[in-house]
Amino acid sequence: MSRESDARDLLARVARDHGPAVLASSLSAEDMVLADLIGRERLPIEIFMLDTGRLHGDTLDLVGRIEQRYGIAVRMYRPRPQAVNEYIVRFGRDAFYESVDLRKECCGIRKVEPLKRALTGKRAWITGMRREQSALRGDIAIEEFDQTHELMKLNPLADWSETEVWDYIGGYEVPYNPLYDQGYRSIGCAPCTRPVVAGEDARAGRWWWEEQGASECGIHFSPDGKLIREKVL
Ligand code: SF4
């Protein structure tokens, strides 16, 4: 499978020439493919995840399975407790349902700020984003320069189809989040993710109560919905 060897070669090149490199894993199916490529090749690429404090138990359970299967530690980044407490006291724990601004503020505290810490001092950021996941992701490049964090951003699976991801997972018996078997096609925080129905795009279950198109949290896109980066290839 040439896409697989392309992804493996890219990861090996990034580890060799652009370290320190990190995989930001949400433990999605795509991120599990990347973790498997990194783990089986024993590449010196750190895997980290953002434990927002609102994830499903099924998602968190996967951390131990990665560590056991590949013998590598997944580094956890958590939001600053004071910022979380202030949000809860001022607005309420689930205030993200009330407005886009409050949703973005919650994502800012629980995801964007910890991500910034996780990427500090790194030269390459690897993600599991694919073009087909949503219209907003339709033109992501395999290699980009991320201007916000000022580092290389690699999307080794950008041109993979959903079927190819699941073929890989099935072929190598890679562990995956059991929520996918319940109709989820993109998995984030528990209160902000629902299963999707036939015909919806993969990220339609994220922040589903907001107007169509608001399916990003600010990690990959700016508040106005634009991806801040330059294509390298
Ligand atoms: S996805 Fe929902 S719970 Fe998670 S950080 Fe964003 S608004 Fe908060």
217 is a catalytic site residue: yes
Question: 21: which residues sit within 8 A by CB, 6+ positions away?
Answer: 14, 15, 44, 45, 46, 122, 123, 124, 125, 126, 154
Q: Is 96 near ligand 1, meaning CB less than 6 Å away?
A: yes
Q: What is the pLDDT of residue 233?
A: 40
Which has the closest alpha carbon to 207: 131, 103, 134, 127?
Answer: 103
Distance 59 CA to ligand 1 centre (A): 15
For the CA of 206, the closest atom of ligand 1 is 1
- Note the pTM of the prediction, 2 decimals: 0.89
pLDDT digits (tens, 9 = 90+) for 48-75: 999 999 999 999 999 999 999 999 999 9
Supply the range of the domain harboring residue 29: 2-231
Q: Is 188 near ligand 1, meaning CB less than 6 Å away?
A: yes
Q: What is the CATH number of the domain that holds 106?
A: 3.40.50.620
Tokens standing for residue 122? 């790194």
Q: Is 106 near ligand 1, meaning CB less than 6 Å away?
A: yes
Residue 217 has pLDDT above 80, yes or no: no
Query: CA 219 to CA 217: how far, in whole Å?
Result: 6
95 in Cβ contact with 206 (< 8 Å): no
pLDDT digits (tens, 9 = 90+) for 120-170: 999 999 999 999 887 778 889 999 999 999 999 999 999 999 999 999 999
Query: CA 100 to CA 71: how far, in whole Å?
Result: 40
- Looking at the structure of the chain, the number of domains it has is 1
Query: CA 225 to CA 216: how far, in whole Å?
Result: 8
Distance 89 CA to ligand 1 centre (A): 16
